[in-house]
Amino acid sequence: MDTQNSPYELIGGSQKVDELVDRFYDLMALDESFSQLRAMHSPDLSSSREKLKLFLSGWLGGPDIYSPKYGHPMLRARHLSFKIGLNERNQWLACMYQAMEDCEITGELGARLEESFFNTADWMRNQPN
């Protein structure tokens, strides 16, 4: 993929990734409808914020800054210790979709990202429901 046309560049690069991730975790911490999702995280969200920002940079087609610091993402393997069923998947997606809307990541790009986030979140499930 041409990096100039990558989702990373199209949403606005690292500044927009940071904004999206910060909004995602702010929503998770403040909105009671994401309480199960919040409970899966440590009380201090600093490390989670940093890791998601670094991961999304490469996942969206920008610089791969996660792997040099933490190794291969092994996304599913790193989350196997958490019970991730339909409810957890749906809370994660609802939180991310709301963060995207709040950060004005909409239209065709927003729809493409929503589909990609859904596919990834569904693949992370390790519980039948």
Residues 56-97 pLDDT 10s: 999 999 999 999 999 999 988 888 889 999 999 999 999 999
Residues 10-41 pLDDT 10s: 999 999 999 999 999 999 999 999 999 999 99
Q: Do residues 42 and 49 lie in contact, with contact meaning Cβ atoms separated by under 8 Å? A: no
Q: How far apart are CA 92 and CA 100, in angstroms?
A: 12
Q: How far apart are CA 59 and CA 36, in angstroms?
A: 25
- Which domains are seen in the chain, by residue range? 3-123 (1.10.490.10)
Q: Is it the case that residue 3 has pLDDT exceeding 70?
A: no
Q: Is it the case that residue 2 has pLDDT exceeding 90?
A: no
Enumerate residues 6+ apart whose C-beta is below 8 A from 92: 37, 121
Q: How far apart are CA 42 and CA 128, in angstroms?
A: 25
Q: Is it the case that residue 1 has pLDDT exceeding 50?
A: no
Task: Write out the two tokens for 94.
Answer: 């609802």
Enumerate residues 6+ apart whose C-beta is below 8 A from 101: 110
